[in-house]
Structure 1
């Protein structure tokens, strides 16, 4: 079966980067473009300015579904990432471009309840303990089980692979079916502290502010929009001063749209002493900190998921 415009496909690489347009791709982006992506090498090969280039829109994890809207003869597909809501951009999801070889035709949904990767990074193998087939599979990736675990190894289905692939059984857990607690959300986000800030990133290799929020809730079974402004629309405002850990802080300059988001990590204290965990563009990493004065000056609200 081939990819066709108007039909869904699935990401077949560990992490697929969604591009603004094929012509925006740079020579440094090679490791992110192949049929076996190496996102760690891609990020380490960029300088700090390249890591925040606006040619990258988002990233999709193994098994994410997309709607194919256009196929180009040069090997690029225009898609809508249907598991990353972006209502200000497209009613179905986040639009952008992917290399065709990073996609596989969508298969029917497997009846078994999906598993979600809980390891920061793992690899899918051809057999228990065998050769790596898909390295770099990251936290928050959903994988349909292909049967029960065997001697500590879990078989899973992966797009583009007819036979099951295997990973350590301890690297995956059932997708939660109840709303997460604040402690659970913060526990996921705290595991990403010190991860590099990468514009459009949604992985443990590199991540941006809204990607951190999207990924933390994705790991816990909750689908939030991809961008901060849409995340604000999809959540419930609470009065400043009543926020609590696990809520979200939103930031915007006067007359401008929301440009930043962080996860509340402590109850507010007298004197506007607030704390949050966020992917910080200025310090180019994920950190937990007291809101500095410049952040407090642009704080426009707190919301609850």
Structure 2
């Protein structure tokens, strides 16, 4: 059996941006120290904006979390009983720049950096490609590059480009992802400056997690899975206990419109969600079923979703059957990511 970590991370470093074109060098993000001298972390400076580098698992060796030494990371994965990781970014958890040229430069450089890392150990790692959503004419190029270089999904935040993810602005992206058999991976993050800045003092619940849960609701309510019948969608790193509330709300709204609501909203819409070991899984399964749950460690991070032992604990806890554990650790992520 192959144990799959469906949500792991890389911590970017300054070499991430070495793949920028010569004409883009002025856009290269720089690491700067906090001005107060009291911050326990530093910052990225990009396009005049500072982005905290605070969600870093400092209990992990730098070479492992930055994937600069894959042998060290793989050794740790072996110790944790993890056979395979799907890698998500860290830099792109927040909005980066309002300028399309900067957005394109950092996205394209990150994608080439990740491709070069993953191709060294393709039997242990895959990754999700970051589309330059402010430059829609370049999205197809990046998705095709990702598909050809080990990407198994398309990274989105709960809100993107000041729009909800059901907005027609993204229809071309969904068409292209469907054609390439790349699932949409909506990760706990926010790409909209308006709401991100409004929730400046929020610890991450409103600006990140609720944005992603709202994306699930919006996808189902507006029939995006029906409009794109081959598209798979993942809702990643927001736990799973929200599902019953969202499904209950959607079922009432569908009833008011005289539209039948599916018995299993996840399965019938090809939507997969990550769970956590401390979720009430018996309750979650009543709404999710058995075939659309996956789990990740959040490897590399230090937020409240990080659980480095999650995959091992899911089995050792004994809360759910061994058969269902096997589905969550192998069968379901294999189906979702097309591994």
TM-score by length of 1: 0.33
Indicate the structure with greater helix content. 2
